Amino acid sequence: MEMLQCDSALLYIVLSALFSGLVIHKLIRNNVKIENAAVSCLLPLLLLEIFCCCVLCSCLGLTLFILACTLYYACIPVRRMLTTQGKAVLITGCDSGLGHALAKYLDEIGVLVYAGVLDKKGQGAEELSRVSSPRLSLIQLDVTNPEQIKNAYNGVRNQVQDAGLWGIVHNAGVLGYMADGELLPLSVYKQCMDVNFIGVVQVTKMFMPLLRKAKGRLVTISSMAGHTPLPGFAAYAASKAALSMFSAVMRQDLFKWGVKVSAIYPSGFKTNIFGSKDHWSSQDQKILDNLMPDVKEDYGEEYLASLKDLHHTMSTVSSPDLSPVLEDVCHALLAEEPYFSYTPGRCAYLIPCLFRYFPLWVYDNFAKRTFQIHHILPRSLQMSKANNKMD
């Protein structure tokens, strides 16, 4: 009996090794993110293997395990990309950062790019005009300005005509400022919602007839903060959470029209969304000016002054290599079967899994250690802690 169990366990190990090799080969060949596949599917299969080996009889267990492995292998997507010929894509927020890089990237591979910018005479717009091909067109587009959105729509419609617009990439976004949710001025919450959410809705509604005509792609650049709580990001995360749900519902609404919807959830990348150090200082002063006296007293000057260091901290830990995001947006636009969700960047998939599937106290302790935005306590908590020690 013991010999039979040993043989059965050995067979499971051999099958697992063989299956893992075949899966990794197919994932690499088709440029599927191995980390996503490993967490979402390979982990459940490992648990199934343990169940089949330890609970079920050898014949039934092996049969069930082999069927599950075969089904998973067959479901791994094969990377088939569409041609870029004749495909027009509108990108918002191309003055700098990710939108600027994405406009160049898509232009280089032959996409007809409409690059929406806040200032057509600005430095970023002038650089795009200088280095890009004649296919790229600059569009004056403030996503919070209904008149500019309508003018942009009329301009694009006159050019694409019956072909329609193949893709919209909602990239324009603002962070505002990082601080405890209680400290953030209401103006920061409003700005984040206006740009990151309401602006996306306005642009989508205006351009949707062109997108439906082409049976194209709607792509939103959300954030890991859009489905995972991160300390200090109350305003930004709330707007990205609204954006994420909007994207999810639009995927269902647009399915009947043949329009495919994707959401990109990057982790920390170095873009201009953090603003300059001067901007950070002005926001810091705005917080101080808008705090009620008792709130200012509870938090203390030392705690509030430490907010200024967050700009340097965020810039330091963010990755300057934007290529993972660019590649995922390109796949969302041009793959025959795009994914609904993309998670480019370090731990952009694992951290949300930790929040969703583990006990909340596990994630809270992880977030406290990993995303701690302050190394000191507010003054009232320091005094309370000191009094407790004296008692």
Q: What pLDDT score was predicted for residue 370?
A: 76
Pairing verdict, β 112-117 and 88-91: parallel
pLDDT of residue 164: 95
Q: Which of 236, 303, 349, 363 is catalytic?
A: 236
Domains of the chain, by residue range, sit at 2-75, 88-370
Each residue of 330-356: pLDDT tens digit? 999 999 989 999 998 887 778 888 888
**Helices 97-108/323-334 angle, 10° precision:** 50
Number of Cβ atoms within 10 Å of the Cβ of 310: 18
Summarised one tens digit per residue, pLDDT across range 72-109 is 777 666 667 899 999 999 999 999 999 999 999 999 99
Mean pLDDT of 12-26: 72
How much of the chain, in percent, has pLDDT values that exceed 90?
A: 45
Nearest to 240 by CA among 227, 228, 226: 226
pLDDT at 334: 95
Average pLDDT over residues 44-71: 68
Q: Which amino acid is at 335?
A: A
| 349 is a catalytic site residue | no
CATH dotted code for 88-370:
3.40.50.720
HSE, side-chain direction, 13 A CA sphere, residue 29:
9
Q: What is the mean pLDDT of the chain?
A: 84
Condensed to tens digits (0 to 9), the pLDDT of residues 202-227 reads: 999 999 999 999 999 999 999 998 99
Is the pLDDT assigned to residue 136 strictly greater than 90? yes
55: confidence class by pLDDT, cuts 50, 70, 90: low
The backbone torsions φ and ψ at residue 150, rounded to the nearest 5 degrees and listed phi first, read -65, -40
* Under 8 Å between Cβ of 86 and 109: no
Q: What is the pLDDT of residue 4?
A: 44
Given a cut of 70, whether residue 312 has pLDDT beyond it is: no
Give the sheet arrangement for strand 88-91, strand by strand: 137-140, 112-117, 88-91, 167-170, 217-221, 260-264, 341-342
Concatenating the DSSP letter of every residue in 16-55 gives HHHHHHHHHHHHHHTT--HHHHIIIIIHHHHHHHHHHHHT
